[in-house]
A and B are shown apart, each in its own frame.
Chain A
Amino acid sequence: MELLLTVNGSLYEVNVHPTARLLDVLREDLGFTGTKEGCAEGECGACTVLVDGKAVASCVMLAVQARGKEIVTVEGLARDGELDLLQQKFVEYGAVQCGFCTPGMLMSAKALLLANPVPSDQDIRVALAGNLCRCTGYSAIIAAVKAASGQEATPLMELPGAAEELAAEVQTDPDTLAAAREAAEKIAGLGPAPHGEA
């Protein structure tokens, strides 16, 4: 069926299977592969996008249900090649590790900040409760969202000795640091990945 969808401010006309999910159309028809498929049942939050400013799981919403609504994906956060403040804080606070959950985390956090520009730690935890991350332990993510709201980030736990050493090593090696930053920025969604890439 023919469908008109507004994604990141642009209007797209797509011809989709009637029961195609919003996730499928975003990724496969429109190439917005920043939106990830994780559990495919609305539990993990990797597929989170904004629909009319609200975070929804695009794996349990049909594309037809998004007709006439404003959809924003992670690709819609950066402006003119500059990361959104939220993305910058994710990079700065080390809130990105493998990166698979990151687009969903960013969109849930974005929806929170749109509705509540000065959230408490608890507000952030509730807003991100539907986004699973198996790497970061969440603390850095919560700190990044707090910082993006202009509030002082809650201090992270003291790093244990070995990790502290490793961190010091990374910080003193400009090559490693630059590579890590580059990877993190890419993962945090600066521009869409080329079509077909995950």
Chain B
Amino acid sequence: MVQAEVLTPATADELVAALARATPHTRLLAGGTDLVRDIRRPGHEPDVLVDLTGVREFAGVRLDGDLLRVGALTTFTELQHDPLVREHALCLALAAAQVGSVQIRNAGTVGGNVANASPCADSATALTALDAAVVSIDGAGVTRTRPIGDVLLGPNRTSLRDDEAIIEFAFPALGPEYRTAFTKVGSRTAVSVARLSAALVMRFDAVSATLADVRVALGAVGATAFRDGAVEALLEGRPADAEAARVLADGCVAAVSGSIPDRPSLPYKRHAAAGLAYDSWNALALCPPCEPAWG
């Protein structure tokens, strides 16, 4: 077995120096919940392994003016309980709470979840709905900021270069006029990989009782999490009522059908999408609970 060299930077400067040594066979290690399994496969041993977890300045959540900044090394357990995330980006806390088990949430990080680029990554769906920007640093010490949609390219594929590490996610902190939700469907109620996930973000105008800045993100139905612009446009300005729930559900079903037209799981996912849309709509608590009309 190849003896990988493990680098353990403790500061941003040390991280840059470590990244400067990256080759195409270098891997960046955060919580390890996906990577450790991966690098143990024969032929997948890295030449250099950079353990990011010692760089504590890239862990934790802070409010920076109107922006919420979430360090890439923040674990799901930390996200789940973080008061700033709960106040300004509830759907991300809800997504974190539904990742794996306690053991996985204690180790797994949001940066690792995005960099691993599983189409089922729960945090990616929430971050997509939150319009998150990905902040990275590379081996030359250059930081870059780009939308999460530009980073996630496909299953286990990102636009991150070999010497580029995600250090932070930044997005507008949502005020109290916003409601968010995250729901997912898996093979069981807990410790489950998402077969379909949805994150909703919308502003509720209490005077007119209508919806604005509507964002609908779906995960685990395509190559990456994506926003559904068509259903967002249909919901924009609409009263928050049972009809809006139906529009959302129809939109999600159409998005799923369009995204995986040839997949054997389509009949199941069409039904699941409708149920999930209603669950997430009801989680917003904008009107009395609505029920889908199956049939």
Measuring CB to CB, which residues of chain A are less than 8 angstroms from any residue of chain B?
Answer: 1, 17-19, 21, 40-43, 45, 48, 51, 54-57, 59-62, 64-65, 67, 108, 111, 126-127, 129-131
A60, B77: Cα distance in complex, Å: 17
Question: Would you give the shortest CB distance from A134 to chain B, in whole angstroms?
Answer: 15
Question: Who on chain B is nearest to A64 by CB?
Answer: B6
Chain B, 46-66, contact with A by CB distance < 8 Å: what is the 0/1 string? 100101010000000000000
The 8 Å CB contact of B101, one of A1, A40, A61, A130, is A130
- Verify if B230 is at the interface (C-beta below 8 Å from A): no
Q: Does B100 contact A (CB under 8 A)?
A: yes
Q: Nearest A residue to B39 by beta-carbon distance?
A: A19
Interface size on B, as a range, is: 20 to 34
> B residues 1-19 with Cβ under 8 Å of A?
1, 3-6, 8
CB-based contact B102/A60 at 8 Å:
no
B51 engages A62 (CB within 8 Å)? yes
Nearest chain-A residue to B105 (Cβ)? A130
- Set of chain B residues within 8 Å of A129, measured between Cβ atoms: 101-102, 190-191
Q: Which residues does chain A contribute within 8 Å of B46, judged by CB atoms?
A: 19
B6 CB to closest chain A CB (Å) equals: 4
Least CB distance from A22 to B in Å reads 9
Among the listed A21, A111, A126, which residue makes an inter-chain contact with B36, where contact means beta carbons less than 8 Å apart? Answer: A21
A43 and chain B: residue at smallest CB distance: B191
Which residues from A are CB-within-8-Å of B34? 60
The residues of B that contact A1 with a CB separation of less than 8 Å are 6
**CB of B104 within 8 Å of the partner chain:** yes
A182 to B53, CA, bound (A): 42
Is the Cβ of A40 less than 8 Å from the Cβ of B37?
yes
Q: Which of B8, B37, B39, B106 contacts A64 (CB 8 A)?
A: B8
How many angstroms from the CA of A51 to the CA of B107 in the assembled complex?
10
Bound state CA distance, A64 and B48, in angstroms? 14
CA distance A111 to B103 in the complex (A): 10
- What are the 3 A-B residue pairs with the smallest beta carbon separation, nearest first? A130-B101, A18-B6, A57-B103
A60 to B29, CA, bound (A): 11
| Residues of chain B with a CB closer than 8 A to A51's CB | 106
Partner of A17 from the list B1, B33, B53, B100 (CB cut-off 8 Å) is B1
CB pair A56–B103 under 8 Å, yes or no, is yes
Q: Is the CB of A56 within 8 A of B107?
A: yes
Can you identify 26 A-B contacts, CB atoms within 8 angstroms?
A17-B3, A18-B49, A19-B6, A19-B40, A21-B40, A41-B37, A42-B33, A42-B37, A45-B103, A55-B103, A60-B32, A60-B37, A60-B104, A60-B107, A61-B31, A61-B107, A62-B36, A62-B51, A64-B6, A64-B8, A65-B32, A67-B8, A111-B102, A127-B102, A129-B190, A130-B104
Given the known interface contacts A61-B36, A64-B8, A126-B190, the answer about A19 and B102 at a Cβ–Cβ threshold of 8 Å is no
Residue contact B49 to A130, C-beta cutoff 8 Å: no
Contact A62 B4 (CB under 8 A): no
Chain B residues, Cβ within 8 Å of A126: 102, 190
Contacts A17-B3, A18-B49, A19-B6; A60 near B36 (Cβ below 8 A) = yes
Question: Please, how many angstroms separate the alpha-carbon atoms of A198 and B145 in the complex?
Answer: 49
Residues of chain A within 8 A (CB-CB) of B131 are: none
Residue from A41, A54, A64, A65 with most neighbouring chain B CB atoms (10 Å): A65
In the complex, B45 has a CB within 8 A of chain A: yes
A137 to B: closest C-beta gap in Å: 16
Cα–Cα distance between A67 and B6 once the two chains are bound (Å) = 13
Query: How far does the Cβ of A107 sit from chain B's closest Cβ, in whole Å?
Result: 9
